[in-house]
Amino acid sequence: MRMKEMVQRTGVHERLLRYYEQQGLLAPTRLPSGYREYSDADVETVRRIRSLLTAGLSTTVIAQVLPCVADDSDHLVPMCPDLVRQLQGERQRITQEIEALQASRAMLDTVLNAAPSAFASEQPTGGVTPSPAAA
């Protein structure tokens, strides 16, 4: 299939498909005219790439992971011995990022809660609890 059909089947923009190819994640064949020709397997590869990106992995890590995963209905299953350890490391990295973001949010909440009550209507919403002085 050509690029246009690949875009329709995957919902991924042409620019991203080219980027995935540039990153070594996708390898469509090239016709003598230079056009890319995608297979049904490429559609599945794009689905895997999107799943792994959603899981928080970088394209560099995905390039290492892709050859070591297989589909089991709706899940990706690690097939290489070292992959589980690598993914556990990525999970720990993501957990640390979440903890850092939560600490940043808590600090912002403290600053926002210290604002004079006259500014209360100007504070953005999103889980900020009013300070007892503002109540």
The CB-based long-range contact list for 67-72 (8 Å cut-off, 24+ gap) reads 71/44
Give yes or no for residue 40 having a pLDDT over 60.
Answer: yes
- Fill in the amino acid letter for 9: R
If DSSP codes are grouped into helix, strand and coil, which group holds residue 36?
Answer: strand
pLDDT of residue 115: 84
pTM over cut 0.75: no
What domains are defined for the chain?
Answer: 3-80 (1.10.1660.10)
43 phi, psi to nearest 5 deg: -60, -45
Angle between helices 14-22 and 40-54 (to 10 degrees): 90
pLDDT of residue 75: 81
Which pLDDT band holds residue 120 (cuts at 50, 70, 90)?
low
Mean pLDDT of 36-49: 94
Give yes or no for residue 65 having a pLDDT over 80.
Answer: yes
